[in-house]
Amino acid sequence: MDNEIIFKAKELSERIIRQAGQISKEKFDNFVELKSKDDFGDVVTEVDHIAEEIIINQIRTAFPNHQIHSEEVGVIGEENDWLWLIDPLDGTNNFAIGLSVFTTSITLMYKREPVLGVIYEPMTDRLFTSVRDHGAYCNTRPIKIKSNPNILKGNIGWIQGHKVQNDIKAVKLRQFIDISFKRMMRLWAPTLVWCMLAKGDIDGIILFNSEGDDLYSGILMVKEAGGIVIDFDGNPFTGMNAEPYIIACHPDHKEQLLRMVRTGLS
> Is 46 part of any known ligand binding site?
no
Alpha-carbon distance of 11 to 21, in angstroms, equals: 16
Is residue 103 within 8 A of residue 120, CB to CB? The reply is yes
Ramachandran category for residue 93: left, alpha or beta (phi over 0 → left; psi -120 to 50 → alpha): alpha
How many other CB atoms are found less than 10 A from the CB of residue 31?
Answer: 17
- List, as one string, the DSSP characters of 62-93: H-TTSEEEETTTEEES---SEEEEEEEEETHH
Residue 201 annotated as binding? no
Distance, CA of 262 to CA of 189 (rounded, Å): 25
Question: DSSP per residue over 167-181, as a string?
Answer: -HHHHHHHHHHHHHS
Q: Give the C-alpha separation, 158 to 164, whole Å.
A: 13
38 labelled ligand-binding: no
- Give the span between the Cα atoms of 247 and 233, in whole angstroms: 10
| Residue 125 marked ligand-binding | no
Strand partners, 131: 116
Does 116 count as an annotated binding residue?
no
Annotated binding site for Mg(2+): 71, 87, 89-90, 214
Instruction: Point out the annotated binding site.
Output: 71, 87, 89-90, 214
